[in-house]
Amino acid sequence: MHLAISLNIAAATGEAVLDFSRISKFVRQAEAAGVDMVAISDTADGPSSSPFEATTLLAALATVTDKIGLVAAASTVAHQPYNLARRFASLDIISHGRAGWHATMAQGSREAANFSRPEGFSDTDFRRRAEEYIGIVQGLWQGWDADALLFDKTGGRFHDPEKMHLLDHKGEFFSVRGPLNVARSPQDTPVLVLSDLSEADLDIAARTADVILLESGSVDSAKVRFDDLKRRAMAAGRDPDAVKVLTSISFAPDDGPAATADRLETQLRAKSCDGFNIQLSAQHSALGDFVDHILPALRQRGLVQEGYRGTTLRSHLRLDGGGDQ
């Protein structure tokens, strides 16, 4: 069972703005518990009490953690694809292969107005643009073969031209030549996480995503969605297990650990997901309840492994790619 924590870094009502010390303590606690990855929220859609931009925070968290995967939300509206690809490739190098990009497929109602598009995009344009954007980013990440960069000062050879691949993308919304001017990602490509999918987004996600976050529902409905996504991945020529489907859940205050563990076990035994995305605020007590009470109950049932399989986020999620598997 794979476990992610989606961390909302906006301060709760009545709280002071969170500082880095508090957030890093939370993430280190999640790492000690063996959680596969923590996904940091972000938005440029109006006022927020979040103290940090997510990719900057991820870079800082990479220096105080060693194993846990680190995923940052970044909008396809707020960044040019070349800059975003470059940033996440750099974050993957800084974190030694633990970085992921969370791209939401939902358009923020006011976000585009901050980026020279006060009228926003139609839903159809936004979807076509997002798919083109994701293809550019993933294409740029694959611009260098693993042994392309030589750094041969004596021979005067920076790279092997045969192992460099220009993207030369000219599409409906973007024109990008490539290649990236940073080294290849330790994971080959950082992990791509997609969420907020409409029916029309499902094929895009099945073709491109490494991890899909779905909202919770009944076991039966989750099973239908899970099987449907796996079929779509196969139809796109992918191994169905190359796409991990995690069900997003929140814990109600009155839920006891045993009842919560029962609920998760039922969904997992029904093969309605590959794991869970636990939605938490950055409150120490919220994670403590999960780590101290629910996680041990899941381990007693043999549903959660101890420790990490490897050193990269792809290895945690058992995904193909660079680094250890």
Rg (CA), the chain: 20
Of residues 185 and 9, the one with the higher pLDDT is 185
Confidence of residue 119 (pLDDT cuts 50, 70, 90): confident
What global pTM score does this model have?
0.92
Judge whether 111 and 75 are in contact, CB under 8 Å: yes
Residue 112: per-residue pLDDT? 77
Count of residues in the chain: 325
Q: Per-residue DSSP letters for 215-255?
A: E---HHHHHHHHHHHHHHHHHTT--GGGSEEEEEE---TT-
Identify the three-state secondary structure at position 295: helix
Judge whether 189 and 99 are in contact, CB under 8 Å: no
Confidence of residue 286 (pLDDT cuts 50, 70, 90): confident
| DSSP, res 318 | T
Indicate whether 325 pLDDT > 50: no
Indicate whether 259 pLDDT > 80: yes
Q: What are phi and psi of 194, to 5 degrees?
A: -120, 145
